[in-house]
Amino acid sequence: MTRAMNRDVIISCAVTGSGDTTRRSEHVPVTPEQIAASALDAASAGAAIVHCHVRDLESGKGTRTVALYQEVVERIREKNDEVIINLTAGMGGDLNVGPDDDPMSWQPGTDLVGGLERLAHVEAIRPDICSMDCGSLNFGDDNEVYVSTPSMLRIMAARVRELGVRPELEVFDTGNLWFAETMIAEGLIDAPYWIQLCLSIPYGTPLDIGILQAMVNRLPDEAEFTSFGLGAMQMPMVTQSVMLGGHVRVGLEDNLYLERGVMATNAQLVAKAVTLVELMGARVQSPADARRMLEIG
C-alpha cells in the first residue's frame, strides 16, 4: 500500500536502552528514579509513548529485574497517568559465542532465556505496550548474536495477547517483517498493528530509504508504523518517517547528541522532534490521541 504523509504523528521516546552509553553521557538515566524522571520530562516535551528499559544499579548494564521495572512504572504513574508506557520485552536474548575453536563456550554477557521468562515483568505490571524483537540478528562485529526464534515469538505473542498488552513489533530486517506478517496472518496479533522499523543497527537493515520504502509498502492496511535511525541520522529519520506515512521515535537509547558536540537530554530530543513535525505541517498526538489510534485502554 502506498501511504501519504502522516498528518497525525505519535512521538515515542526511547529513554535509556541497555547499551554501553552511560559512560558516554551523563544524561543517560540509570536508576529507576532517573529513568522515570527522564520519561516524565520527555512526556512533558511532547512524547505520547515512553519506551523503557532498566539498568543494573551497580554496573549500569541492562537487566531483566522485575522490581526495577515496577519502580519505574510506579514513579511515572505517580505523576502522569496518561502517557503510554512501553516496556521492552527484548532482554534475555543475548548470546555471546565463544572463540572459533570453542564456539559453545558462552562468553560473559550471555543472557539467554525463553520467551515466557522474558515476559516476567510484563506479567507483573501489564504495561500499555511491550516490544517484541521479531527475529534473530548478528549484533555488531564480533560474536554477539541476539536470539529471538519463531517458536519463542509465537509463545510471547500468544501470552501478550492474553494479558491484554499491545505488542510493538520491532523489525530489524526484511526477514523480521516477514515473520511479523506471519504472526499477524496466524491471528497472534490483533489490529491495529504497531510496527517499528529499525534502521542502521549492525547488521540489520541499513539506513537506505529505498529499503525502508519497500518495507513500508509491505505493511498491512491496519498497521501504524514508526521508523528510526541511530546517531546523527535520528532527526533526518523523523522527517523521513513522517513523509512515508509513519510516526517518530527519538531518545537517548538511539542517539546522545542534540547537535554536533552538544549532548542531549531526552526532553530536548523530543522537543526538537516536535518542532520538525510541526514545521512539516503535521500535528503531534497527545497520549489520549495515541491511545485512540492504537486502541489502548
Sign of CA dihedral 201, 207, 211, 217: positive
Report pTM. 0.97
Q: Are 275 and 40 in contact (CB under 8 A)?
A: no
Per-residue pLDDT at 143:
97
Give a yes or no: residue 158 inside a domain. Answer: yes
In the block, which residue shows the cell 520538525?
276
Answer whether residue 162 is part of any domain: yes
pLDDT at site 209? 95
| pLDDT for the residue 1 | 63
Coil, helix or strand for 64? coil
| Burial of 10 from C-beta contacts in 10 A (0-12 / 13-18 / 19+) | buried
d(CA 183, CA 11): 25
> Which cell goes with 196?
517499528
Q: HSE (CB half, 13 Å, CA atoms) of 103?
A: 5
Nearest to 22 by CA among 256, 190, 200: 256
pLDDT of residue 278: 98
User: How many other C-beta atoms lie within 10 A of the C-beta of residue 280?
Assistant: 15
Residue 20: give the domain boundaries: 8-91+124-138+148-294
The mean predicted confidence, pLDDT, of the chain is: 97
> Is residue 99 included in any domain, yes or no?
no
Report if residue 78 sits inside a domain. Answer: yes
Is residue 233 included in any domain, yes or no?
A: yes
Provide the domain count of the chain.
1
What does the chain come to in residues? 297
pLDDT confidence of residue 2 = 77
Residue 31 sits in a domain of what CATH number?
3.20.20.70
Smallest CA-to-CA distance from 120 within 180, 70, 73, 166 is with 70
Residue 119 included in any domain: no
Strands (E) across 180-281 are located at 193-198, 223-228, 247-250, 257-259, 262-263
Residue 117 inside a domain? The answer is no
Interatomic CA distance for residues 101 and 124, integer angstroms: 42
* Digit-coded pLDDT (tens) for 121-141: 999 999 999 999 999 999 989
Segments in the chain below pLDDT 70:
1
In sequence order, what E strands does the chain have? 8-9, 11-14, 49-52, 54-55, 62-63, 84-88, 93-96, 111-112, 129-133, 137-138, 144-146, 166-171, 193-198, 223-228, 247-250, 257-259, 262-263, 283-284
CB-count exposure of residue 251 (10 Å: 0-12, 13-18, 19+): buried
In this prediction, residue 80 carries a pLDDT of 98
Q: Which run of H or E residues covers position 40?
A: helix 32-45
Cα distance between residue 242 and residue 234, in whole Å: 13
Whether residue 83 is contained in a domain is answered as: yes
